[in-house]
A = this chain, B = another copy of it.
Amino acid sequence: MDQRVDFITLGVPDLAAARRFYVEGLGWTPALEVEGEVIFLQVAHGVLLSLWDAKAMAADIGAGAPAGAPGAGVTLSHNVATRDEVPTVLERAVAAGATLLKPAQDTEWGGRTGYFADPAGVVWEVAHNPNWRVEADGRVVIGS
């Protein structure tokens, strides 16, 4: 598992309220929006901040999702280049002391993801996303 974070995902209880704050309030520009579901904002070279409906996020993580968190849940994502690397990286993390929350599974958007928790309970997603790439200048392109 390379030393890298590609996404910071915030599980928000009210996506419209999150949009009012980040997009209308702070004036930040989305890289991609899927209405009622998710908003992606680029916040560093190669890094997206994702505002995601909290219930959808909890459902995606599954039974291992932290319950009762005050405020939003947060995950950090580590993207890999191929589908096969998703389980490999999950195994590597577990060997290092992580707890597997959800094994590698295909997603409806054509990718493959799994989740683990670090020793403090921080949730990481390991993902292969064929519709994501980072340009040489650091700009992230997401979506087909």
| CB contact between A25 and one of B5, B29, B44, B97 (< 8 Å): that residue | B97
In the complex, whether A63 has a CB less than 8 A from a CB of chain B is no
- Is the pair B49, A10 in contact by a Cβ cutoff of 8 Å? no
**Hey, which chain B residues are within 8 Å of A120, CB to CB?**
10-14, 17-18, 54, 71-72
**How distant is A48 from chain B, measured CB to nearest CB, in Å?**
10
State how many residues of chain A have any CB contact under 8 Å with chain B. 53
- Is the pair A118, B21 in contact by a Cβ cutoff of 8 Å? yes
- Is the pair A121, B44 in contact by a Cβ cutoff of 8 Å? no
A-B contact pairs, 21 of them (CB 8 A): A3-B26, A3-B28, A3-B29, A5-B47, A6-B44, A12-B119, A13-B120, A14-B120, A17-B97, A21-B119, A22-B118, A26-B92, A44-B47, A45-B47, A45-B138, A47-B47, A68-B68, A70-B121, A71-B122, A72-B118, A72-B122
Q: Which 4 A-B pairs have the closest CB atoms?
A: A71-B121, A25-B96, A45-B45, A72-B120
